[in-house]
């Protein structure tokens, strides 16, 4: 039932952003914000939970001299009072890509306003993290 409710909210949100946001067989859909930020939403059937995640950017070589500073920066950006707020920043399994992610009960995403606010929270986190890394770790 919650999956159907979430699918309905996605469909309505998709019509607002002019994208088809239908869940695929794995429960995933993707929306691109400002032609720049890819936002993935995945419905987890076992827990009626929705996972939202987005690639922030490349972390760089794990053996580079500044990799420790970058890892520490990610930890600091995860501070609940920091720019990432409720979103968790992490490295992927290979340690090459920084991801921003959050999860919520599907029951809390019962309107397009709730979904839009959640997407915006993630987008703000991705942008602020990209800005921080561009300023402190320029290429």
* Full-model pTM: 0.91
Walk me through the domains of the chain, giving residue ranges and CATH numbers. 2-136 (3.30.1460.10)
Report the chain's C-alpha Rg in angstroms: 16
pLDDT of residue 106: 96
Whether the predicted pLDDT of 134 surpasses 60: yes
The whole-number pLDDT of residue 86 equals 81
- Tell me if 24 sits within 8 A of 124, measured CB to CB: no
Any idea which residue has 């703000």 for tokens? 124
Place of tokens 């827990």: 47
How far lies 76's CA from each of 53, 71, 89, 131, in Å? Answer: 19, 9, 10, 14
Name the average pLDDT for the chain: 92
Per-residue pLDDT of 86-129, as tens digits, reads 899 999 878 889 999 999 999 999 999 999 999 999 999 999 99
Residue bearing the bigger pLDDT, 75 or 118: 118
């Amino acid at each position: 039932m919650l999956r159907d409710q979430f699918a309905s909210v996605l469909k309505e949100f998709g019509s607002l952003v002019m994208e088809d946001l239908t869940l695929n067989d794995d429960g995933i859909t993707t929306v691109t914000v400002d032609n720049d930020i890819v936002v993935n939403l995945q419905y987890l059937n076992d827990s009626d939970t929705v996972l939202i995640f987005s690639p922030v950017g490349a972390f760089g070589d794990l053996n580079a001299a500044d990799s420790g500073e970058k890892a520490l920066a990610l930890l600091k950006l995860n501070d609940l009072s920091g720019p990432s707020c409720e979103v968790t920043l992490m490295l992927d399994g290979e340690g090459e890509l920084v991801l921003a992610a959050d999860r919520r009960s599907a029951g809390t995403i019962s309107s397009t306003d709730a979904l839009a606010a959640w997407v915006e929270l993630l987008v703000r986190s991705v942008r602020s993290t990209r800005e921080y890394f561009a300023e402190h770790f320029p290429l």
